[in-house]
Amino acid sequence: MELTDAVATLAALAQETRLELIRMLLAVGPTGLGAGEIATRLGVAPSTLSFHLATLERAGLTQSTRQGRQIVHAARVEGLRRLLVFLTETRGAGLSALTGLLAPIPEEPSVMTPAFNVMFLCTQNSARSIMAEAILTKIGGSRFRAYSAGSEPASAPRPAVLEKLRALGHDTQALHSKSWHDFTGPNAPRMDFVITLCDIVEGQVCPDFGGLPVTGAWPLPDPAKFTGPPAEQSALLNELYASLRRRIEIFTALPFASLDRLAMKARLDEIGDGLVLAGRH
């Protein structure tokens, strides 16, 4: 960190509301908080909060990501650690001991490279996310590792979904409904991407999957709500499968080596909005 960067970081923290805000975000951890929740806890107006959040993000102390239709803000611990390293560089006696307590700060990669862990989420983890896990497992090769989970997992995937996947050549033996809490903790795989497939997850606070995954929302219809005769329901499942497969094929074909995290987030949102599917490349 250069002197000018340190001055900017200290200036961003030298304000009561912003200092309280960064302490709050550090306390909640990597999952962060939505802007509305932050405003409520701090008792500040949304317009005032937006100003403070923008100041902290410019200083590299926080970062924002979209989860569904809300923006979630989280502390960037490495920004604070870099400031501490700068302040404790050996320019005087007694500082070396404090410096030794600070672990080396890994460089945050500017681009993402495979292999990637990809988590698909929906409420019951019984249809859409199960399909997505099976599709990415089949077409992703060694470049991707697919997972799926739900906030309120069913006892088992929907039989019609498993039957459809088998008919389309997928191995369904390992597929089962799982809680998203099964993927938290120190021994859980660290997710690079977390993609929600339904609106119901929206508004719920996702657990900490470790690291800072790129998030995306690809809302798709719930097969549990498909009605009509069996042939019509089967046709709707075919459409759902085709939509998921097309999105995942576009996702796996993205130029990961040339996209930074912000660009990757934008491309995920485009896929979810159908812009890429409609011909925007």
DSSP state of 204: S
Structure tokens at 157: 């995937």
Q: Quick one: 78 and 129 in the same domain?
A: no
Q: How many Å apart are CA 212 and CA 195, to the nearest integer?
A: 13
> Which residues lie across from 70 on neighbouring strands?
67
CATH number of the domain that residue 195 is part of: 3.40.50.2300
Q: How many Å apart are CA 162 and CA 171, to the nearest integer?
A: 9
Tell me which of 100, 125, 160 is where a domain ends.
100
Q: What mean pLDDT do residues 98-108 have?
A: 46
Question: Most confidently modeled of 31-40, 98-107, 205-214, 229-238?
Answer: 229-238
Report if pTM > 0.85.
no
Q: Return mean pLDDT, the chain.
A: 81
- The DSSP bridge pattern shows strands 70-75 and 33-34 to be antiparallel
- The DSSP bridge pattern shows strands 70-75 and 116-121 to be unpaired
CB within 8 Å of 261: residues ≥ 6 apart: 112, 212, 214
Within the chain, what is the greatest distance between any pair of CA atoms? 80
Q: Quick one: 60 and 132 in the same domain?
A: no
Q: How many Å apart are CA 35 and CA 116, to the nearest integer?
A: 29
More confident residue, 180 or 86: 180
The answer to whether residue 184 sits within a structural domain is yes
According to the model, what pLDDT value does residue 114 have?
Answer: 54
According to the model, what pLDDT value does residue 205 have?
Answer: 62
CATH number of the domain that residue 96 is part of: 1.10.10.10
More confident residue, 276 or 38: 38
The answer to whether residue 207 sits within a structural domain is yes
The answer to whether residue 76 sits within a structural domain is yes
More confident residue, 241 or 81: 241
According to the model, what pLDDT value does residue 250 have?
Answer: 94
Structure tokens at 7: 């001055």
The answer to whether residue 280 sits within a structural domain is no
According to the model, what pLDDT value does residue 201 have?
Answer: 45
According to the model, what pLDDT value does residue 68 have?
Answer: 58
The answer to whether residue 108 sits within a structural domain is no
Q: Quick one: 147 and 175 in the same domain?
A: yes
pLDDT tier, 94 (very low <50, low <70, confident <90, very high otherwise): very low
The answer to whether residue 254 sits within a structural domain is yes
Q: Quick one: 71 and 134 in the same domain?
A: no
Q: Quick one: 156 and 250 in the same domain?
A: yes
Q: Quick one: 52 and 124 in the same domain?
A: no
> Which residues lie across from 121 on neighbouring strands?
149, 196
Q: Quick one: 122 and 190 in the same domain?
A: yes
Q: What is the pLDDT of residues 20-49, one digit of tens each?
A: 888 888 887 777 788 888 888 888 888 888
Helix, strand, coil percentages for the chain (3-state, nearest 5): 45, 15, 40
> Which residues lie across from 64 on neighbouring strands?
73
The answer to whether residue 188 sits within a structural domain is yes
Burial of 279 (0-12, 13-18, 19+ CB in 10 A): exposed
Q: What is the pLDDT of residues 119-170, one digit of tens each?
A: 999 889 999 999 999 999 999 888 899 999 998 899 999 999 999 999 999 9
Range of the domain at 211: 116-273
Percent of the chain topping pLDDT 70: 81
According to the model, what pLDDT value does residue 12 have?
Answer: 83
Q: Quick one: 242 and 217 in the same domain?
A: yes
Closest CA to 130 of 101, 94, 97, 154: 154
Q: Quick one: 140 and 200 in the same domain?
A: yes
Q: How many Å apart are CA 240 and CA 76, to the nearest integer?
A: 37
According to the model, what pLDDT value does residue 202 have?
Answer: 45
Q: What is the pLDDT of residues 84-93, one digit of tens each?
A: 777 766 554 4
Q: Quick one: 55 and 178 in the same domain?
A: no
DSSP state of 228: S
**What total number of domains does the chain contain?**
2
More confident residue, 246 or 95: 246
According to the model, what pLDDT value does residue 93 have?
Answer: 43
3-state secondary structure of 278: coil
Q: What mean pLDDT do residues 55-79 have?
A: 80
The answer to whether residue 83 sits within a structural domain is yes
